[in-house]
A = this chain, B = another copy of it.
Amino acid sequence: MPIDPRTSITTPVTQLLGIDYPILLAPMDLVADGRLVVAVDAAGGFGILGGGYGEENWLVRELDVLDRSKARFGVGFITWSLAKQPRLLDLALERRPVAVMLSFGSPVPFIDRIKRTAAIVICQVQSAALAKEAAAAGADILVAQGTEAGGHGAARGLVTLVPEIVDALGGRKPVVAAGGIADGRGLAAALMLGAAGVLMGTRFYASQEAAGPQGAKERICEATGDDTLRSIVFDIFRRNVWPAPFTGRCLRNAHADRWFGLEIELMRHLDEESAKYAAARHAGDFDIAAVIAGEAVGLIHDIPSAHDVIERVVREASALLTRWSS
């Protein structure tokens, strides 16, 4: 049931996924849990479970939540992490997700298995070259992720990446814009760039249902867009450095500022620093631990329900999209 029958934004993505609004929940590792996915589905968007690095117990538990809810849902995986535990894909596919989203690295080893079920394949890419590779491999929907995004990503800005990928695909596959989008302005802009929808992470992190610490949500509300940093510092702290070109965007804090630019020196103190980081993460001390968030933090000032997030985005975008017609 649409939030408001007057605010209809139909695109190839709403049609393909069977949803009311072209708004997708980013599969944020552990933060996008079953509860948040269900809430996004109930509000007319498309929730994607944050399978992330692949914690099997967590995945099974959250898939159980989704089973009980009868929600439409997707499951997201970090491709190179899934390669180490390929059976997690089978666990997910058994639950009949509407879509599986693969991010980072080649989707080729997994696409055939997904396509043998009815699931739609969503591939998140960070460059024109990766988009062409994923499209050729059989992706049904491409998510173009700009550098503005929180968490892992690469260097291309969203405003050029989306139209360039749209052109490269010649309209054959729908493109969803991700990174830096948190309101109706972002959705309307994405549609103008040729996207058929948006995928939002940070905006949904600062929602009531997201499975993140309250302290992290509050820091997202307080930060400006100048307060994030794309780097490998936090990955070093977590002993989890990704292969180039991927880096992670987090909120800056005193600890990151201290080590940014001194990454090689940091490696020399890794045992001590990673222990300190793990303790801070456990304690919710975000002067040391990272709040994984994108540049959209500067557009986020409260912690509403996922329903209210979607309602606001849809209403604002609808008003903007019809504003220039007069």
Contacts and interface: CB of A to CB of B under 8 A. Distances in A.
Nearest to A295: B160
Q: Is the interface of A mostly helix, strand, loop or mixed?
A: helix
Interface in A75-118: none
B159 A181 contact: yes
A167 B129 contact: no
Interface in A123-165: 127-129, 146-148, 155-161, 163-164
A289 to B, nearest CB: 22
**Residue among A164, A189, A294, A296 with the highest chain B CB neighbour number at 10 A:** A189
Contacts of A164: 224-225, 298-299
Given A128-B226, A226-B129, A180 B193 contact: no
A128 B228 CA distance: 12
Contact of A163 (B156, B161, B186, B191): B186
B159 A128 contact: no
A13 interface: no
Interface residues of A, number: 45
Given A129-B226, A192-B192, A179 B163 contact: no
Contacts of A156: 225-226, 295
A185 interface: yes
A183 interface: yes
Contacts of A298: 128, 160, 164
Contacts of A322: 324-325
A306 to B, nearest CB: 21
Contacts of A160: 148, 180, 182, 225, 294-296, 298-299
